Chains A and B, each alone.
Chain A
Amino acid sequence: MYYLSLIFKNKKSAVGICIFLFFTVIAIFAPYIAPYSPTYMGFAPLQASNWKHLLGTTVTGQDVFSQIIWGTRVSLEVGILVGFMTTIISTVIGLISGYFGSTIDEVLTAITNVFLIIPGLPLMIILAAYLPSRGMWTIIFVITITGWAWGSRVLRPQVMSLKKREFVSASIVVGERSSHIVFYDIFPNIIGLIVANFFGSAVYGVLSEAGLEFIGLGNVNAISWGTILYWAQNDQAMFSGLWGWLLVPGLLIALLGMSFALMNFAVDEITNPRLRKR
C-alpha cells in the first residue's frame, strides 16, 4: 500500500498511468469507438479531414481514424508482450550469472556483451528479412532477441552484491537450497530494477515495432500504427495534404512510449531517493 500511494503521489507516474489507461480503454472498446470497420474500402479515396472522416481516407478508401483506433491494440499488445518476455529473459540470465558466478557467469557475460554491442535495428531488419512469416509474433520474437541484454547487464552486479550481504550468507550457512535463496532472499530486493526493466523494454518494443513496420518488414495488411505510417509514406500522404494521416499515428506512438518511460522514471525515483525532489 505504501508503494501504491508513492506511485500516485509521484506526478510522473500518475501522468504515465493515466495515458496508459486511456490507451487500454481505447484498445478494449475499439469496436465501439471506431465509427467504421478499419478494413472497409468503400469510401471515396484520399478525402481530407471532414466530419464524416475525422482524419480523412486512404488511397484505397479506408477511414484513417477507425484504423488508428484499431491500431492501438497491436501497439499496446506488442509493447506489453515485449516488456514481459524481455524482462523474463534478462532477469533469468542476470540472476543465474550474478548468483552462480565462475564459468557460467563468464560465458553468460560474454554473450550479454556481444548482444549489447550489436545495434538492435540492423539485427532486427536482417532477422525479419529472413524469417518466413511476418506476423505480430515474429516481430515480438525479433525485438525480444535483440533487446534483453541491457536488463541482464544492470541486474548482474546487483545480484552479485546482494549475494555478499549477511542475510544471504545466513541462508547459505543454514543450508537453504539455491532456489530458496534466489527467490526469497535476492528476488524481493531487485524487484524495483525488474519493474524498471519492464517499462524500459516496453518503450523499446513499441518504438522498434513501429520502425520495423514502417520499413515494411511487418505484416503490411495488418492494422497497426506502424503499418498506417508505412502506407502513409508509400501512398505519399504528405503530398495529398493528408497531414493527419501522418501526424496522429506517430504522436500516439510517442505518447504510448512516453507513458511507459514516465512510469519507468517514477520507479527510478522511488527506488533511488537521491533523485527525488528535495
Chain B
Amino acid sequence: MKYILRKLIYLFLTAWSALTIDFILPRLMPGNPAQIMIAKYKGTLGPQALQSLETAFGINVHQNIFLQYFSYLYRTVTGNFGISLTYYPSTVMSMISGAIPWTIGLVGVSTIIAFVLGTLIGINSAWKRESFISNISVPISIFFNSMPYFWFALLLEYFVAYLLGWFPLTGAFSAQMSGFAFISSVLYHAILPATTIIVTAFGGWILTMRNNMINVLSEDYIAFAFSQGLPEREIEFNYVARNAILPNFTGFAMAIGFVISGVLLVEMVFSYPGIGYLLYQAVIDLDYPLMNAIFLFIIIAVLIANFIADMIYVLLDPRIRGE
C-alpha cells in the first residue's frame, strides 16, 4: 500500500510540474510570445479568441501572478485549454481528441511488439553466449539504438514506399472508404510507421534484458537449479528470465519516454495524423496554446502508462507487496 501511495504522489507531483512548466514558460521568455501571436493574428481572430489568449498568457491582465496561476490551474483541470490559433475557431481540446486515438494505436501496438521481441532475443542471446544470434545481436542493437528514428523513417519512406511503391507515402487511411475496407487501409498505412518504431526501439530491450540475464545467471540458485538437473527450458524462463525481467519494468519510465519521443518524429515524417504531427504543426505555426496542451497530454499519458507498469511490477515481485 505504501508503495502504491508513493507512486501516486509522484504521479501528481510530475503532473503538477508539467502544468507549472506550461504556466511559467510563456511568462519567462523575453519578447512575450503572446504579443507576437496577437500581432500575427490580429486580422484573423475574433475578439473573444484574443481575450482568451491574453488571459492564458497573462498579459494586459490586472491580476497578480498568483491569481493568474490559480485561475490557470482551474481552467486546465476542468479541461479548458482555449482556442487553437491555427485551426481557429476549433478548440484545442477537439484538435487533441481527434489526434489521440491514432497515436495511442500506433504506440500501443508497436511498443508491445518491440518489448516482446526485444526481450525474447535478449533472453536467447544471454542464454547462448556463443551463438550466432548472440554475437550479432549486440552490435546490431547498438547501431539501432544510436540511429535517429526519423532518419530510418525517411529511408523506409524513400526505398519501400516511394521507389518500390509497396506502401503509401503519408497519412493514416484512404479517403472514401468504410467498414472493413477502411480498417484494412488503416492497418496498411500503419505498417511503415510501426516498423520504424519497433526496429528502433527493440535494440534497447535486447541490451538491457541480456545484461540482466547475465547478472542473474551467476547467482547461486541458478547453479543449484542446474545441479538438480532441471530441464534447461525451465531454468531459462522460470528461473533466469523471470527474475531478469523485473528491472525492465522499472526502466519502463525511460523506455516509454524514448518511444514517445521517437513516435513524435516518425509521425512528422509520415504526416501521420497523431499527436506528434499536430505538435509539429503547432511548432511551425507558433500555435502556443495547442503546443502547451499537447505537452501536458503527452506527460499525462506517460504518467498513466508508468503507473500501469508499476502496478504490474507489484503483481510480479512479491517483495514489494510485503513492505
Question: Which residue numbers of A lie inside 8 Å of B, CB to CB?
Answer: 12, 110, 113-114, 116-123, 125-127, 129-132, 150, 203, 206-207, 210-211, 214-217, 229, 232-233, 238-239, 243, 246-247, 249-250, 253-254, 256-258, 260-262, 265, 268, 274-275, 277-278
Contacts and interface: CB of A to CB of B under 8 A. Distances in A.
B215 interface: yes
A127 B25 contact: yes
Given A126-B292, A130-B26, A211-B261, A254 B299 contact: no
A116 B255 CA distance: 10
Given A207-B146, A250-B148, A122 B162 contact: no
B294 to A, nearest CB: 8
B316 to A, nearest CB: 20
Contacts of B253: 116-117
B29 A132 contact: yes
Given A121-B260, A215-B265, A274 B218 contact: yes
Given A118-B299, A121-B261, A217 B283 contact: yes
B146 A203 contact: yes
Given A122-B264, A215-B283, A260 B146 contact: yes
A239 B170 CA distance: 14
List the 4 shortest-distance A-B pairs measured between CB atoms, nearest first: A257-B146, A250-B151, A121-B261, A119-B257
B188 interface: no
B14 A114 contact: yes
A250 to B, nearest CB: 3
B154 interface: yes
Given A114-B17, A132-B29, A254 B148 contact: yes
Contacts of B254: 116, 150
B147 interface: yes
A129 B283 contact: yes
Contacts of B258: 119-120
Interface string B249-286: 00001101110111011001100000000011001101
Given A117-B253, A119-B258, 11 more contacts: A116-B254, A122-B279, A122-B294, A125-B295, A129-B291, A130-B26, A207-B146, A216-B284, A249-B151, A256-B146, A278-B129
B120 interface: no
B86 to A, nearest CB: 14
Given A120-B261, A130-B25, A207-B146, A110 B13 contact: yes
Contact of A130 (B33, B143, B145, B268): B33
B150 interface: yes
Interface of B: 10, 13-14, 17-18, 21-22, 25-26, 28-31, 33, 129, 138-139, 142-143, 145-152, 154-155, 157-158, 162, 211, 214-215, 218, 253-254, 256-258, 260-262, 264-265, 268-269, 279-280, 283-284, 286, 288, 291-292, 294-295, 298-299, 302-303, 306
A98 to B, nearest CB: 18
Contacts of A249: 151
A233 B302 contact: no
B12 to A, nearest CB: 11
Nearest to A207: B148
A129 B303 CA distance: 23
B264 A121 contact: yes
Contact of A119 (B150, B154, B256, B280): B256
Contact of B30 (A113, A119, A132, A217): A132
A253 B142 contact: no
A150 B253 CA distance: 11
B155 A247 contact: yes
B176 to A, nearest CB: 25
22 contacts: A113-B14, A117-B257, A119-B302, A122-B279, A122-B299, A125-B283, A125-B295, A129-B286, A130-B26, A130-B33, A132-B30, A207-B148, A211-B150, A215-B283, A238-B157, A246-B155, A253-B151, A258-B143, A260-B146, A261-B146, A275-B214, A278-B129
A113 B6 CA distance: 12
B218 A254 contact: no
B237 to A, nearest CB: 20
Nearest to B282: A129
Nearest to B130: A277
Contacts of B22: 126
B10 A254 contact: no
A48 to B, nearest CB: 15
B197 to A, nearest CB: 14
Nearest to B141: A261
Interface centre among A129, A232, A238 (most CB of B within 10 A): A129
A250 B144 CA distance: 12
A126 to B, nearest CB: 5
